[in-house]
Amino acid sequence: MKLAPLLAGAVSLVTLLGSPALAEIQERTIKFAAANSKGHPQVTGMERFAELVSQRSGGKITVKLFPGGTLGGDVQTLASVQGGTVEMSVMNAGILSGTVKEFGVVDLPFLFATPQEADAVMDGPIGTQLMERLPAQRLVGLGFWELGFRHLTNERRPVNTVEDVRGLKIRVVQSAVPVSTFNTLGANAVPLPYPELYSALETGTVDGQENPLANIVNAKFTEVQKYLTLTGHQYNPQIVIVSKAFWDRLDADEQALLQAAATEARDYQRQVSRDASDGFLAEIRKSGMEVVELSPEQLQGFRDAVEPVVAEFRDQIGAETVDAVMNQLKTLRGGQ
């Protein structure tokens, strides 16, 4: 086999993708919306994506960022992306479960033990299969970023056991599995759009909420919450989605450019998020919030309490999808 022509072809492809001036790149503006505010690792990833797209398109494609829920909450933004009035967003992958039921698998409580497990599942065939279901719903997936492990905060009392959760009004993501998870723990789960959460905490409409440390700091929940319990009850992969109506107007070079930028920004965003985690916890402690670190026995109590949620949703999500994730996790954990 003659390697020279093959190598020349590979170099030509790299040159084409790396030098958009050689491709038929058109002047475009992309509205990229998200719920979190500037300074959050999610938005840092968006900023990196915008930089990469500008560089690789020779400035022809402008990514205009709309963080902080300025274009609405996640559910509203999702509808806007489907309708084509917003070109892109990044949000909790589980929110898509109302559109593609199989995405509910990532909301199952205590599913992932480490971010690396989540990376292996979401970057592999399972994540690809989930994204392949999106075009039929007027969406295109460009990959999975991270939000991190979710923890519980509240204003009323320290939470050390499942019994301490009972009766608390807890805001949850607008997705069926989180609602069921906290109702199963004995809380009153209240699904609300994220941009409304601070006000709901401030006015006492809800007693508490559950989010990663980055959100607790970025949204200043430390101002309206007294207690944090490090439950780590759910890990949130974030999905980067594009309006299919917009995507279909792009040529192959433009699509490849956006995909490559999203993938490179993913790696950057994940690292930023993970590097910042310890700093966020230190900031929460400094704010005066009381931090409860659960013992293995206390954490097992939470795990045991929410086991029925997995059984409840297995068939609703799709047994094949749930089993595929569980089997891959078992393999990753050495068959244990």
**Mind listing the pLDDT tens digit for each residue in 177-215?**
999 999 999 999 999 999 999 999 999 999 999 999 999
Residue 336 confidence (pLDDT): 59
Kindly tell me if the per-residue pLDDT of 152 is higher than 60.
yes
Host domain of residue 145: 26-332
pLDDT at 24: 80
Torsion angles phi and psi, residue 311, rounded to 5: -65, -40
Rounded Cα distance between 144 and 127, Å, is 8
Query: Does residue 176 sit within a domain?
Result: yes
CA-based torsion, 103, 161, 216, 42: positive or negative:
negative
- Residues of the chain above pLDDT 70, percent: 93
Is 164 among the domain residues? yes
In a domain, 114, yes or no: yes
Of residues 89 and 1, more confidently modeled: 89
> Which tokens belong to 229?
């319990």
Q: Is residue 99 part of a domain?
A: yes
SS3 annotation, 210-221:
EECHHHHHHCCH
11-20, 22-31, 39-48: which range is least confident on average? Answer: 11-20
CB 137 within 8 A of CB 100: yes
Q: Around Cβ 39, how many Cβ atoms within 10 Å?
A: 12
Let me know if residue 2 belongs to a domain.
no
Domain-embedded: residue 18: no
**Do 150 and 211 touch, CB atoms closer than 8 A?**
yes
- Percent of the chain exceeding pLDDT 90 equals 91
- 245 burial (CB, 10 Å; 0-12 / 13-18 / 19+) is middle
Name, in order, each residue with C-beta under 8 angstroms of 182's C-beta and a sequence gap of 6 or more. Answer: 165, 170, 172, 188, 189, 210
Confidence category of residue 20, pLDDT binned at 50, 70, 90: very low
Q: Compute the C-alpha angle 13/17/18, nearest 5°.
A: 110
What average pLDDT is seen over the chain?
Answer: 93
Q: Cα 252 to chain center, whole Å? A: 27
Whole-angstrom Cα distance, residue 182 to residue 309? 10
Instruction: State which H helix or E strand residue 145 sits in.
Output: strand 139-154
Q: How far is CA 121 from CA 241, 277, 295, in A?
A: 18, 22, 28
User: What is the spatial distance between Cα 205 and Cα 121, in angstroms, rounded to a whole number?
Assistant: 37
Q: What is the CATH number of the domain that holds 67?
A: 3.40.190.170
CA 330 – CA 83 distance, rounded (Å): 39
Which position has the token pair 């790299």?
14
H/E stretch holding 119 = helix 115-122
- Does residue 13 lie in a domain region? no
Backbone phi, then psi, for 203, in 5-degree steps? Answer: -90, -5
pTM given for the model: 0.88
- CB neighbour list of residue 55: distance below 8 Å, 6 or more residues apart: none
Note the pLDDT tens digit of each residue in 267-323. 999 999 999 988 999 999 999 999 999 999 999 999 999 999 999 999 999 999 999
Residue 161 falls within a domain, yes or no? yes
Residue with tokens 């990196």, as numbered in its chain = 48
Pairing of strands 88-92, 169-172: unpaired
Number of domains the chain contains: 1
